[in-house]
Every structure is written in structure tokens, then in C-alpha cells.
Amino acid sequence: MSYSFQFDAVKLPDECETLREEVRAFLRQEIEAGTFKPGGGGRHNSHSPAFSRKMGERGWIGMTWPKKYGGQERSQLERYVVNEELLAVGAPQGFHRTADRQSGPVLIRYGTEEVKQDVLPRICRGELSFCIGLSEPNSGSDLFAASCRASMADGGWHINGTKIWTSNAHRSHYMIGLFRTTSATKEDRRHGLTQFLVKMDTPGIRTRPIHSLTGRHDWNEVIFENAFVPDSHRVGEVDMAWKQATNELAYERSGPERFMETYDSLVELVRLAGDKPSERQADGIGREVAHLATLRRMSVSVAGMLQAGKVPSVEAAVVKDLGTNFEQALPNKVRLLAPATSAGDPSNRGDFDEVLAYTTLIAPKLTIQGGTREVLRGIIARGLGLR
């Protein structure tokens, strides 16, 4: 069936702007207190359980979730504003981000009541960190090829196999993982996969580090050897997870984090160019800011659709494809626009070179994580009825 995607203009309501001021005041206070160093392309800050707890105290984790599970029942647009303000200063969100963005919403939709009552309030308080177990050594883009197996056992399931590229598995309390419970059928290769909530300190789970180009330990191989998961931690129907896992990606793909990961390089360029940029610099900076503003409007529009209870998978894929291509190209454009030396005062160079080096190193991953560029374009083409 053909479909045309649509990005309706969404104006952030007044309560969002009030909230924005509150978030800014909080972040200023935290920066002054030395909780984190702003900017720097995210190279200083990543995980901070202490910062996540403070976010939790303010009701800014799980803020759209039902009050009975610790949430605030606020809107997706309010959540958007909080997220955008944190990203703009490079606040450390890594500890709670995955749980807030996608694991919590998946549990709300498909988790058992026991799990919801136990886990969701702790996420909202900033006490829990989550990772995502989708990719395997022989199954990345093609999730339906997953072979890491969950076999039925007394009262639950035994998991055996390997997940790979699992961001933050070594510092997560839980994983939501996709496991094979039955072989795929000839008629439907999507059949036979089930999602589980896995406690990462379960006996039989080992993580092995994988380092990124920056030298940081961000990823892991996660090895399961007869790890037991109770049936109450099954997330959704047995063998029917394909739909859940693809819905989850609409949350993962559309936020401002999909075009702001190298944003600090632009901020540094603006600072370095000063109040008298050359014509070429002014033109180049204006062009990038215009791209950024357009992406933001599209991303806010997706937040509006999520708020309206829609599952905007195609629009989310469009935002992620355009957004990650923008943020991937940005450091190189910044490099070409930057003055080779700082006019007059060499100390004005400040953080620029380090931010540029760091954002250049992270650029290649941006169009791979959360679905590669080619896969996203395939999803968009299918959504438009072109394949």
C-alpha cells in the first residue's frame, strides 16, 4: 500500500517554554557546581548516575509515562524540550537515556504488570541503566536472522548465544533483548523471535569490551551461557516480537540526538569565527544553521505525532537519515570553514581543535547506529510504496 509521509508544523506550547527555562536554570546550576563540563562534543561526559538521579528528582526521566509507574504524564513535546536542552550543553545522559527513550516505552506497552511496577519507577528515579540487545555477529541490519536462542525451562527460559555492539552493556542493569524462541517458518521469516527483559547480573552472562575509534569502551560483546530469565520477564507474545522491535525504533530514530551529536563543532566554529566572520564563513555557518533548524522542525513534528499516539516509523526514518548525514558531514565542513589560526589571540582557539578531532572520530558511526543509512532508505522507499 502506498503512503506519503507528512511533517505537520508543530508549535511548542507555552508550558514547553516555561519548562525550558526551568531546565536551563537547573543545568546552569549543575555546571556551576562542577557536576559536568559543558560542550566538548560529549567527550567529557557520558554516564553519571548522580546526574541521572537529579534528573529523576525533577521528574525529567520517564516524564511522559503514567503516574502510577512513576511518570509525570507530561507530553512528548515537553520531553523533547528537556532532551534538546541537555544535548545543547552536552549534559551526561548516558546512564538513563536508553531506558527513558525506548526501553521504558516498550515495557509500558508489552511488559507484565509485575515488571512494570518493579522496574519503571526505578527508571524514573534515575536508578537504572538499560542496553539494547538486537545485533549479533551474523545479524545486524537483518534482525530476523537473529539466532541467540531462548529455550523454554522450568518457570522461564535459558538463553544461549552472543549479542554484539551492545552499547553500555558493561554498565547496564538490564537489557531488552531479542531472542530466537522458534525457528522461522518458510512462509514467514519474521516469526519465532521474542523479547525479554534480562537482568545483566544474571549468572551465565559475560561482557567483553569493544573499543571505538576514540579509544573509549562503549560497546560490548555479550555472551549468554544458559542464563535463566523468568517468564514474567518476557516482553510481549512468544514468537511475535518482530513488530514490537520495529515499533521501538520509531522512538529511537527521531529525537534531536539524531542530528546533534557533532553540534558542538559548529558552536566552536561560531565562537572561533567571532563577531567578524569572513563572508565565506558567514555563508557556511548560515547554511549549517538552516539545515539544523529544518531538522529540528521535522523532529519536533515527529514528537507531535508520538504525542498523538501515532507510530511514525517512516517519518522517524527520514529524520534519522537526514539528521545523521547532516551531523556526519558537519565536522569536515567546520574544518574547512575554520580559520587556520585564531586571529590575534592563540588562546582563543580553546577547545576547538579537540572538539573537532573528537567529532571527526565519531562521525563514521553516526550513519550505522540505530539502523544504517541504506536500511533506512529501504524503509522509506517501502513506506512510499516504491518497493
Ligand X SMILES: Cc1cc2nc3c(=O)[nH]c(=O)nc-3n(C[C@H](O)[C@H](O)[C@H](O)COP(=O)(O)OP(=O)(O)OC[C@H]3O[C@@H](n4cnc5c(N)ncnc54)[C@H](O)[C@@H]3O)c2cc1C
Q: Which residues bind ligand X (CB under 6 A)?
A: 131-135, 140-141, 165-167, 365, 368-369, 371-372, 374-375, 378
Nearer to ligand X, 28 or 387 (CB): 387
Any idea what DSSP says for residue 101? I
Q: How far is the CB of 210 from ligand X (least distance, A)?
A: 10
- Closest Cα partner for 227 from 340, 149, 324? 149
Q: How far is the CB of 189 from ligand X (least distance, A)?
A: 13
Nearer to ligand X, 167 or 301 (CB): 167
Q: How far is the CB of 374 from ligand X (least distance, A)?
A: 3
Q: How far is the CB of 75 from ligand X (least distance, A)?
A: 27
CA distance 35 to 28: 10
Q: Are 217 and 244 in contact (CB under 8 A)?
A: no
Beta strand 217-230 pairing with 156-163: antiparallel
Beta strand 217-230 pairing with 205-211: antiparallel
Q: How far is the CB of 148 from ligand X (least distance, A)?
A: 11
CA distance 285 to 276: 12
Nearer to ligand X, 132 or 298 (CB): 132
Nearer to ligand X, 13 or 209 (CB): 209
Nearer to ligand X, 168 or 265 (CB): 168
Q: Is 321 exposed, middle or buried (0-12, 13-18, 19+ CB in 10 A)?
A: buried
Cell 549549517, located at residue: 288
Neighbouring residues of 83: CB distance < 8 A, sequence distance ≥ 6? 93, 255, 256, 257
Q: How far is the CB of 379 from ligand X (least distance, A)?
A: 10
Nearer to ligand X, 47 or 58 (CB): 47
CA distance 233 to 76: 27
- Closest Cα partner for 288 from 264, 314, 313? 264
Nearer to ligand X, 165 or 358 (CB): 165
C-alpha angle 357-262-75 in degrees, rounded to nearest 5: 155
CA distance 220 to 240: 26
- Determine how many CB atoms are found less than 10 A away from the CB of residue 176: 28
Q: How far is the CB of 382 from ligand X (least distance, A)?
A: 11
E strands along 68-192, which residues?
Answer: 130-133, 149-153, 156-163, 174-180
- Closest residue (Cβ) to ligand X? 140
Q: How far is the CB of 160 from ligand X (least distance, A)?
A: 17
Nearer to ligand X, 31 or 368 (CB): 368
